[in-house]
Structure 1
Amino acid sequence: MRRLTATLVLTILLAFGLFVPVQAHETGRSHLEPPGWTLDLSILAPLMLSLALYAIGWRRLRQRSHGGAERLAHRARLFGSGWLVLTGALVSPLHEAGERSFAAHMFEHELIMLVAAPLLVLAEPLAVMLWAFPSGGRRSLGSVTNLRPVEATWLLLSGAVTATPLQAAALWLWHAPALFDLALADERWHAAQHFSFLISALLFWTAMLGRRTAPGVAALCLVGTSIVSGALGALMAFATSPWYAGYARLGMAPFGLSPAEDQQVAGLLMWVPGGLVHAGAALLIMRRLLRPAHA
C-alpha cells in the first residue's frame, strides 16, 4: 500500500496545477522568439509543495533514523531526480517550445512518462512525506488508504493487466488528431492530456516495478508496451503529411523542419527511445528470473 499512498499524494499535489487553467500552449509570445520558462503559479505551487513536504519529512525521519540513513539517502536521490525531471518538463523552455514543435511536445511527454514517473514510483515518497504532518494527520491519511473500497480500487488499477492497457489507451487516444488538436487549442484539455499521461504512467510503472507483479508478467507487459507505443511512433515517423492541424497551420517548425518532418522526428522519439526504455526495463526485470538459476 505504500505505492498507493505515494501515488495518491502525487496525484493530489499535481492535479491542482494541471487542472487550473494555465497558459499551456498560448503564451502570447511570438513563435519567432526563443521559448521561455513557464513560471506559472498554478504549476509551480504543487511542485514546490511536494518538494517542501518531502524535505520536511525527510529531515524529521533522518533525525529519528539510526540504521537506515543510506536507504533514506538513496530514496531522496530517486525522488529528487524524478522531481527535477518532471519540473523541467513542465516549467523549462521545453514546455513552451511544445507550442511550436510537435517534436518538442513529444520529448516533454517522454520525459514525464519514461523518466519522471518510474523514478517517482521507485522513490516511494509518501513514507517520507507523511513525517511532514503531525502524528494524528499521519494516522488519518494512513486509515484512508486502508479502507476496503480504496484498497480494492487501487489493486485493480495498479495491476499489470489493467495498468498496461490503460497507458496504451491514453497514448493512442490522445494522439488521435481530433483529441490532440483539441488539447492544442484548449488549456483545460491540454491539462487533461498531461494529467492522463502522468497518472497512467505512474500506474504502469507501479505495476511493473512492484512486488505484486511476477517478473515474467512484467517483462511481457513491458515488451508489449514497447511494441504498442513503437507502432504509434512508427506510423508518425513514416507519415508523409502532418496529422495535426494545430501544428500544420504554423508552417515551418524550428530548425527549418516542415510540419511533416517535425512529426516524423516526434515519431522517432516515441519509437526509438521509448522502445529502448521499455525493452531495457524488461531485461533488468528478467534478471530476477535468471538469478536463481545461476546462484
Structure 2
Amino acid sequence: MDISLVGSINIDLVYRVPYVVKNGETLHSASHSVHFGGKGANQAVTASQLGANVHFIGKVGADDFGGQAINNLKEKGVYTDSVQKEGATGQAIIQVTDAGDNAIVLFPGANFLVTPEQIEQEADIISSSNALLLQLEVPLEAVEKAVEIAAEHGQMVILNPAPSQKLPDSLLKNVTFLTPNETELAQLTGIETTSEENIRAACSLLLDKGVGTVVVTLGSKGSFYMNREESGWVQALSVNTIDTTGAGDAFNGALAVGLCSGDSLRSAIEFATKVAAYVVTQMGAQPLIPHSYLE
C-alpha cells in the first residue's frame, strides 16, 4: 500500500483544564504536555503504523520544532524526503477537559507555505501511489493541484474537508471519498444536519457535484456513508474516552489503509471506527497503535 499524503505538520501544546476557557477568563491548567500533531501528520502516522508506505508532502519550519517533527515522522515509518523546511513550524494550542472534549487554537506556520509548485515537483509520487490522502490545513491551491494530478492518473482521492471551507465543484468532482464530520457537512452544503433525512440530502447534494462516496463521522453516533449504490450506518464503539484530539485523523488514516487493502466500503469504515475508538483512550493525537490492529 503506497499512500501519498499532502497535509500539515504541527507541534501540539496540550493543556488539561476542567472546562474550556470562557471569554475574558484566566484558567489554571492541571497539566501541560507537548505532542506531535497536525492533521496530515496524524493521518500519516496512523496509516504508517497500520502497514502503509506513506509518502508525506508538506512543510515544517526551519527551527528546532521542524527538525523534531521530521524525526518523529521518520521514527513512525513515514517517508519525509518531500517535506521541505521554511518559516516557523505550525503549532496547535489545545485545551482538553476532564470529559475528553477539546478546543484548539491553530497557528499554521509553514503549513501555509505549501505551494502548487511544490506539489508539482512531487507529481511522480502522487501518480504512482494507490491513494492520495489530503486535508485542508494547507492552502487550497496546493490541495487542488494534488487532486488534479491524482485524477489525471486515475488514483483514489480521499479528502478530509477540515477545517471546513467552501470547496469548488472542480475539486469535488475528482474526490473519490469525502469524509466530513457533521459540522463540516452542514457548512459544505448549507443543509442543517439535524436529522437522518437532512444528512442524506446533504450527502446527495455532494454526490450530485461529482463526489464518489461521502463518509460522515458523527462522533458518538457513529458514521454514515452514501454513494450511488449503497448507504448505511456504522455504530460507534463504547470506550473510556481520555482525549478526542486526533480521533478524526485516526479514522481517516485507517480508512485509507482499509480501502487500499481492498476491503469493502463498510468493512473499511468499521476498521477505521475501531482504530479511532482506540486513539481516544490515549493522550495525544499520535499514540502507538497495538499490533493487534494490523489487518
Is this a same-fold pair by TM over 0.5?
A: no
Query: Which has more radius of gyration?
Result: 1
Higher relative contact order by CA 8 Å / sep ≥ 6: 1 or 2?
Answer: 1
Structure with higher strand content: 2
Structure with higher helix content: 1
Q: What TM-score, normalized to structure 2?
A: 0.25
